[in-house]
Structure 1
């Protein structure tokens, strides 16, 4: 199995899993054109879900481009991401932004998410066992 795959096991596919992330998001990362919501998962690896509403991005080819960029960015960064369920949502106006800039924003978002997770794990220290 490749380190950089995007198999069905790393995708959030059912509505209940999306709802779990929306309702229980521990981490929120805001970028100029993206919002990331994330929570810890019980799965053996991180999973990605992408929500691109017609209301935010009107044209199908633009919605597909955004999803493709988000999947590719996740695929390349999934080894550095802790065990999280992550939902990526674009903001209004994203279709006017070139791919290189979107890719850079995604990179910053993954880094920021990792910093938040590390900060969170430092604040929650394991209780000593008796």
Structure 2
């Protein structure tokens, strides 16, 4: 039975982890007008999630926290179908205008697209 936990091993924790994705020249990406998901290779056997939600894009802390909570929940539910890669979700200004259901549907569609990626490159 699959576990749907979101423990430390499923997170990008240090700036070094984030920098490795931002500096990779051929990362995959998926996105919409509300958010972008960058994909990079990792050395572990499971997918990992990182999030960047700039104050400049989403001003209120309550909106930033809601966005991050919904992204974490969506990732947790889709982690078993994703390849063992690193995923960084970057919020855009219009993301705060989405309802919870709209954001969940958008993330579901993007995770489905990214689950088609090959395991290793």
TM over 0.5: yes
Query: What's 1:21 paired with?
Result: 21
Query: What's 1:93 paired with?
Result: 94
* Aligned mates of 1:3, 1:90 — CA distance in 2: 27
Deviates more, 1:47-56 or 1:2-11: 2-11
Corresponding residue pairs, total: 120
Query: What's 1:49 paired with?
Result: 50
Query: What's 1:4 paired with?
Result: 4
* Aligned mates of 1:23, 1:91 — CA distance in 2: 20
TM-score by length of 1: 0.86
- Structure 1 unaligned runs (5+)? 125-130
Give the deviation of 1:44 after TM superposition: 2.3
Q: Secondary structure at the match of 1:93?
A: helix
* Aligned mates of 1:61, 1:21 — CA distance in 2: 27
* Aligned mates of 2:97, 2:45 — CA distance in 1: 37
Query: What's 1:33 paired with?
Result: 34
Which is greater in Rg? 1
* Aligned mates of 2:20, 2:41 — CA distance in 1: 10
- Structure 2 unaligned runs (5+)? none
Q: Secondary structure at the match of 1:48?
A: strand
More helix by share: 1
* Aligned mates of 1:10, 1:32 — CA distance in 2: 26
